[in-house]
Each structure stands twice: as C-alpha cells, then as structure tokens.
Amino acid sequence: MVKGIAVTVLVTAVAVAGISQHFWTGKKRAMIDGMTERRLSQFEALAATHSAVAFVGDSITEGGLWSEWLPGVDVINRGISGNTTQDILDRMHQIVSVQPDKLFLMIGVNDLNKRLGAAVALANYTKLFDLIDAQLPNTKVYIQSVLPVNAVWPLIDNTHIPTLNAALVQHADKRGYRYIDLHSVFADAEGALKPALSNDGIHLLAPGYRLWRSQIIEFL
C-alpha cells in the first residue's frame, strides 16, 4: 500500500514537473518574442537614420555596449537575441535603409543551436551576401567568425563551428569582404571558448567585449 502511494506521488510529481517545464518554456519563448518585437519596432522607426558603423547579429552582438566600447564612433547595434541567418535576411531591409559605411556581421551560432545546420546557415549567408552586394555596394563589409562555445553551454559543442568559419573565409575572399578571425583569439587550446570570457559558455562578459574591440579597432 505504502509502495503504491509512493509510486503515485512520484508519477504525479513528474507530471507536474513536466507541465511546469512546458509552462516556463512557453513563457520564456513569449518573453523572447516580445523583446524581439520591441527591438524590431525601434529599428523600423529608426531605419532611415544613417550611421557610419552597424553591428548586426544575435544576442552576442546585442549584448555589446558598442557606443561605450567605441567612444567617438558613430555606431548602431542591430543585434537581436536568438536571431539566425534567416532572421537577419528577413530584417535586412532595415540595415539597407541605414546605408552604413561599414557593416560588421556575426551570425550563425543560433542556426546550430536550433539544429538548422551549417548547410542552411551557409545557404542563407549566400543570399545575404547577394543582397548586400546589390543594395549596399558602397558599404565596407566585415565578416566576423562565429565564436566558439564551451562545455557550460548545453545546446551545442564546437563540432560544426570551424566548418562554418572556413566557408565564411572563402565567401569573404570571393566577395572582397574583410574576414575577421575572432575565433582563434577567443578559443583555448582545445578550441573551446575561454572560461574567463563568458559566464554561460556562449555569451560574453566584459573581458570578451574588450578582446573583441581589440580585434576590430583597426578597422574603425
């Protein structure tokens, strides 16, 4: 009898935990969607405002306080948390309308996080580069490598990141873009993100942004 009650309690607890997990996952997704919409609405409102330098990417770009890391540089931050290469394609019209003199792009890790794969990311990169060549012919383009992650981040490892970066080198050479290899300076001897640069295995702390700045400052 006691054993039966214990099993019932355990099953109930697991079921409640599952419902709770589903609830919080859904709530987190709604929060992210809401934050994305708020950023997109501002980007749309400011779309016609010219800027000398545009940083475009996902949460790693969004997290940088670029106007403070780069004082005196006319810079806008067009990073959005969770963005994939397809998301950048979908909102690229907002970047085009700004007509930046220089465009710093880092995108692709969320394609891997969401199991879309490197092939999908590279196909979207090709479309993105075609669009840039056609609509931003006077913009200097800087392709920044996808950064490594480390074991603290649970969604992916570094298996496909070097392949993606190697393909980006070829794209940059073909298109006349500047490729900036951030990966090699952010990675430790095993190819993982240096622990001192992140508190969750993917997003950057101040030392990470300071290192990033040191690698791009010559191009600004």
pLDDT tens, the chain, 220 aa long: 555 544 443 434 434 344 444 444 444 445 557 778 887 787 777 776 788 999 999 999 999 999 999 999 999 999 999 999 999 999 999 999 999 999 999 999 999 999 999 999 999 999 999 999 999 999 999 999 999 999 999 889 899 999 999 999 999 999 999 999 999 999 999 999 999 999 999 999 999 999 999 999 999 9
Element holding 16 (H helix, E strand): helix 2-45
Contact predicate 122/84, CB 8 Å? no
* Domain 49-219: which CATH number of 3.40.50.1110, 3.40.50.720, 3.30.70.580, 3.40.50.300: 3.40.50.1110
Residue 32: the pLDDT is 53
The residue ranges of every structural domain in the chain are: 1-45, 49-219
141-160: b or e for each residue (b if 16 or more CB lie within 10 Å)? Answer: bbbbbbbbbbeebeebebeb
Contact 187, 141 (CB under 8 A): no
Quote the CA–CA distance of 9 and 166 in Å, as a whole number.
Answer: 53
